[in-house]
Amino acid sequence: MKKRLVWDFSLPVAVIDARQEPPVLTQASVGSLGNVLRVSTKIDHPLIRQLFDLYPDRGSDAAIEEMLNGQNGKEFSDVFEEYQEEKKAGPLMWGADDLASFVVKSRTCFEGDELAIAAVFPTDTGDNGHALATFGIPWRYFTVI
């Protein structure tokens, strides 16, 4: 890669989707990440986050039932319905907060001469459960000899 002097939204990043066999590696730019990993506007809502925290211990059906019958049941019902509508367009990967954090991470990686990477891994929790990890790998490891 040609040495860049300044960070911008055209900076390359990598996305690894390890939910498939074999895992798929996609190159994207910081500015086009939302086209590679779908962004949810509801996944960052505190009640949806609370639901996800309940999944491992209770399972998805019991967790949803608990949230619907909880103190904020009506609000949860509305937000969960909107979240379900988002999911109809395809699997959601991360929230806007996660995406914004990764943009900041890509800048930090750039300053450390690293390639920023987002990796999606399968989990056994919830519907289409997955985990997301972000990290950087030094560019020097990609040098062809």
Same domain, 1 and 23: yes
Q: For tokens 């995406």, what's the residue?
A: 99
Do 86 and 45 fall within a single domain? yes
Question: Tokens 């999606």 map to which residue?
Answer: 120
Flag whether 56 is in a domain.
yes
Residue 54 sits in the same domain as residue 13: no
- Do residues 115 and 144 both lie within one domain? yes
Residue 97 located in a structural domain = no
Across-strand partners of 137? 115
Output the CA torsion sign for 131, 115, 98, 82. negative
Question: What is the extent of the structural domain holding 48?
Answer: 39-92
Rounded distance between C-alpha atoms, residue 131 and residue 139, angstroms: 25
- The predicted-structure confidence for 3-32, as pLDDT tens digits, reads as follows 778 999 999 999 998 888 899 999 999 999
Which pTM was predicted?
0.76
Structural domain total, the chain: 2
Residues 145 and 108 in one domain: yes
> pLDDT tens digits for 45-97?
999 999 988 988 888 899 999 999 999 999 999 999 999 988 888 776 788 88
